[in-house]
Each structure stands twice: as C-alpha cells, then as structure tokens.
Structure 1
C-alpha cells in the first residue's frame, strides 16, 4: 500500500489532525474509531437513560422531545469531536444539503418498506389489519433517535474510519458485519436476520453515504423505514415494538422465518433483502460511476512517509 492512497471523490474521510498522512495511519484510524465510538455512546446513552428514568410515563410528547434532544446532542458531539480531533469541518453533516437529502431519504425509506409489505401481503405471507389513528409520539421518537444515532455511529464513525484505514471494501464489509452482529441479541434474531440487516443497512445505507458524501439520506431512510414498519404497519422492528400503531401486521402461521422475518420483523425477510439489496446495488453502482471507490497515486508526502517507514 506504499504507493496507493484511498480516494473517495467528494467523501471527506479526514486527512488532518489524528488522521493526517504518515506512519501507522491505519492504527491511528482504528484507535480513533474505537475512541470516537465510545465518546459518542457516552454522550448519548447516559442522557437518554436519565431522561427515560425521570420523565413521566404518561407524557409521550415530553418523551418524544427528550429522544429528539438526545439525538441532537449526539449530532453536536459528533461535529465537535470531528472539529477538535480531526481538525476539519464535518462535511458529512453539511446543513445546506440536509432538507433536500433528508426529504429524499424519508421518502425512500417509506416507499421501500411499503414495497416489502406489498410483496409479503400479496404473497399470502402477511396479514395487515388497519386500526385507525393512534398517537405516534413513541414511534416517531424511537425512529428519529435510531436514524440519527445509529447512522452517526455506524456510517459516520465506523465505515468512514475503516475506509480511512483499509479502503472501501474492508470498510463496507466490516461495518456491515458489525451492524448485523449488533442485532443478534434481539428477540427473534437469527443468522439470516443478521445477514439481511448487514446487506439492507450495512451496504445500502453505506452506499448512499458514499454517493453523496453526507449522512442525511441514510438518516432519512433509516428513520422512515423504522417508523413505517413499527407505526404504520405495526410490525416488529428488529424484534421489538415501537408502541401504538396505525395497523397490525402478523405473519401467517406455518411460514418459514426466512420468508416472513419471524418474530424479528419483516426486515429479516427475503422480500426486504430483495428490495433493499436492489436499491443498495443501484446506489453502489452510482457511487462507482461517480468515482467514489477509485484510487490515486499517493502524494509525495505519503511516499516519503512510506519510505521512512520501510527504511
């Protein structure tokens, strides 16, 4: 790797501060990935737990605002750490692109999950019964929280810094595997469910990040997917419930889990894998066409550092 440096088009992986070119860049990238992840979780986890313990259970509006506030704190901490440690602006969270790309992500997430349910119900694998409007505070708060915090952690930190250390292939494989494995303790989880999540989120959401250089589309897709799954259709979300829902969706008994998702929810079904895999491949292809996964000769500074390192 002494003569090649990873190139990512408009994707700013970071090349200043702790990530400046030089000896042991890969090790510094991995060490910072671990430290960044811990700091991000610590900024969000205790605050969320404190608010959950202190806010009244019968005040869903307050609990919604608390979850959104916690997610915004995580955003602020991410921006601050990038500025202080990596010595750069967090262009992956560029405010100017946020309205347009968030809207696109929200639309894509909703449409994709509706397509999954259309396949499942049309194939006789799921039954959906609509109940009518229910308050959506809990579902919306959980969806926004997961969309922001998980995308910051998995795509903004893990994928980006693995890419900085080892290149795009290792970054996509590593971050996807971690995302899938992270859901294995959930109710109804299986190896197939983990593989589905690794491809659906690990690859697809990472591809949109690579394509745009920003996290907004991925955040929008993630939040809208969870909200549509948990509130609109009332299905399990990664083995859990988001609370009150507009409809109730249940898998037809006697069908294999790999077709319905089982207790884990429709996102662990073959239909979800097909829909998200198709969209993910399209986003990967567009990223490749845009030159996001190319390579370029290392800079003279990189070459001199490499020569010193191998001398």
Structure 2
C-alpha cells in the first residue's frame, strides 16, 4: 500500500542523493563538452551552459521520479505538472510579474545612477534563443525538486507554513556556492523560495512557479543585464556600476540588493491575495488534482 503521509526526515535526507545525481549528470556534461573542471568550474559559453542545464534537468527528473516512486511510494502525478484549467492564466501571470519587477527595478536603479547601461551591439540571436531555453530548464529543474518534491512532501507531515519556510531555507542554501554570495543575497533567495512556493500551497501545481522562475531569470539576466544569482550571462543590455553596494546588488545582481527584498515582499503579498481562495474542483484532492476553479 502506498504511504499517504510522508516523513519529513526522509524527505530532507534525499537532498544529498539528489545532489550526487545532479553532480554526476553535470560531470557527464562537462566531459562531453571537454571542459576542464579540475581547478574549479570555469566561465562557460551560452551553448555550454545550455548543455550543462540539459543534463542537470534530466538528472533532476530522474532523481525526483525515483525518490517519489521508490522512497515516498507515490505517483509522480503529485509533483504538480498536470495541465489544469488555469494553466494558461498561471503561465501568463507568472511571466507578467517579473517583467513589471525588472522594468521598475531597472528604471529606479538607472534613474538614481546606481547602474549605467548600453545596448549590446553584438547581439547573437542564437545565444538569445539558447539563453531562453536554458532558463526554462533552470526553472524546470529547480522547481521540480524544491517545490514539487521537497515542499510537496514536507506538506504531508508538517504545518504548511513550516514546510514552506524549511523548503525556502534549503532553496537558498543550494545557492551558497554561487559567486559573490552575501547575507543579503541569502535573504533574497529565501524570499524567492517563499514567493515560488506560496502558489503551490494552494494549488499543488508548479506551472505558475515555473513561469515566474523563468521570467525572473530571463528578464533579469538576458534582457536587463543583471548578473543572475552571481553569474554573468549573455544579455541584450550591458551594465556597469561606479561601485558595488546594497542598492544595486553589486556582482551578485539584482538579487543582492535591498530593492529586491521590497519587490519580492510586494510580489508575495499579491500572490497570496490571488491564490489564497483557490479551490480544487469537487472530487479532486490536494495530492491528485486536475482542474481548478479561479
């Protein structure tokens, strides 16, 4: 018989096996790309980053499928990838909110002369496409484990707010090895975990979180030229700063700034208002949902 109630200790203990599987998948990618990582991970090209994330996402799907089926003894359907009646609305809303955040954030930082910018005159549309696909893979990979598996299973044995907080701390901790990490960056990544996990509490569905996660990274990095969680990637706008500080986020990017805290708190409040009254249609359970009523 399949378990109906999970064990939070078992769920959290899967973090190390997950990291091992992801590490093996990435090592294979580096080997195929002939990238030497003996002295650390070097800066990669847009294509190399795409291939690495392709293998990372495959590893994430494999790990979460195995953990769900053989450890939690549940159907993979509980992860939250079902197409619901609100699928398109959630995708569009998830994409729209980051656009507003970075339009406002970029304008404020530029207007206050915290950042300076110019248009990249060497735009490669191949890199633009690869960047978009890569950030889709990033969103899929991270949401699949952090929200779909981790938060989803913690919810079966813990209070939902405790589960959300624990999964958000773990999500932030996953980024501790990122370049230029700071305490402010950690706070912002913790808030990102809250923001991305909040809709899942009410819908048990990942599509809003995947769309928002993708939109956040893509518009932050590829469009507006901020470093994404400390890493520099191809962008349409090239940024520079007179000095790195808590207002412009420095080398970590927008996620290293106090403005990001404000932006995320506003988004969290709006998302809560939107999703708090979401109801499953009659006959569906939180673990096996189909259509939702808006």
Q: Same fold by TM (over 0.5)?
A: yes
Q: Which has the higher contact order (CA 8 A, sep 6+)?
A: 1
Task: Flag structure 1 segments of 5+ consecutive residues without an equivalent.
Answer: 1-15, 293-311
- In structure 2, the residue matched to 1:183 is 175
Among candidates 30, 34, 58, match of residue 52 of structure 1: 30
Residue pairs, 1:225-240, within 5 angstroms:
225-240=216-231
How far 1:167 moved relative to its partner?
A: 0.8
Superposition CA RMSD, Å: 3.0
How far 1:96 moved relative to its partner?
A: 2.0
Counterparts of 1:176 and 1:99, CA distance in 2:
24
SS in 2 for 1:129: strand
How far 1:195 moved relative to its partner?
A: 0.7
Among candidates 53, 62, 75, match of residue 88 of structure 1: 75
* Alignment partner of 1:161 is 2:153: yes
8 A contact 2:105–2:259 mirrored in 1: yes
Stretches of 4+ moved more than 6 A in 1? Answer: 56-59
Counterparts of 1:64 and 1:185, CA distance in 2:
20
Counterparts of 2:139 and 2:46, CA distance in 1:
19
Q: 1:86 to 1:283 in 2, by over 3 A?
A: farther
Q: 1:192 to 1:39 in 2, by over 3 A?
A: same
8 A contact 1:143–1:227 mirrored in 2: yes
Task: Flag structure 2 segments of 5+ consecutive residues without an equivalent.
Answer: 36-43, 281-294
* Alignment partner of 1:263 is 2:251: yes
Relative to its length, the structure with more helix (as a share) is 1
TM-score, normalised via structure 2 length: 0.77
Q: 1:183 to 1:66 in 2, by over 3 A?
A: closer
Q: 1:114 to 1:86 in 2, by over 3 A?
A: farther
Counterparts of 1:32 and 1:102, CA distance in 2:
28
Counterparts of 1:63 and 1:174, CA distance in 2:
29
Counterparts of 2:47 and 2:181, CA distance in 1:
31
8 A contact 2:21–2:63 mirrored in 1: yes
8 A contact 2:115–2:240 mirrored in 1: yes
SS in 1 for 2:229: coil
* Alignment partner of 1:249 is 2:236: no
The alignment covers a number of residue pairs equal to 266
Greater shift, 42-51 or 272-281, is seen at 42-51
* Alignment partner of 1:17 is 2:8: no
- In structure 2, the residue matched to 1:273 is 261
SS in 1 for 2:118: strand
Residue pairs, 1:81-120, within 5 angstroms:
81-84=67-70, 85-97=72-84, 100=88, 101-120=90-109
